[in-house]
Structure 1
C-alpha cells in the first residue's frame, strides 16, 4: 500500500510536467521551431527548456 501513496503524491508533478511540455511545444511553434522536438526536450529538462525557449529568438521563415 505504501507504493500507492507515493504514486498519488507524485501525480500532480507528472501532470504539471506534461502540461509544461505542451505549453513549450506551442511556444516553440510560435517561434517557428519544432514543436515535437521541444516537447520531448521539455519532458527531459522541464523549466530549463522553457527558459531557453523564451530566450531564443524567433527563427525567420524562408521566403521562396
Structure 2
C-alpha cells in the first residue's frame, strides 16, 4: 500500500470526528472507530440521528 492511502484514511477519520461532534457524539471514539472501519463508520455516522 502506498502513502496516499494512509493519508486519505487518516483524513477520513478526522472528518468523521468532526461530523460526530456536530451530532453531539464523541469525536475521539468516532475517530478511533473510523481508523478501523473507514467508510463503513462514515456511513453509520451519516445515517444516524443527532443525539
TM-score where L is the length of structure 1: 0.78
Number of residue pairs the alignment of both structures matches: 51
Q: Which runs of 4+ in 1 moved over 3 A?
A: none
In the alignment, structure 1 segments of 5+ residues that lack a partner are 1-8, 60-64
> What value does the CA root-mean-square deviation take over the aligned residues?
0.7
**1:10-32 CA distance string (max 9 Å, x none):** 10000000000000000000000
**1:19-53 CA distance string (max 9 Å, x none):** 00000000000000000000000000000000000
In the alignment, structure 2 segments of 5+ residues that lack a partner are none
Higher alpha-carbon Rg: 1
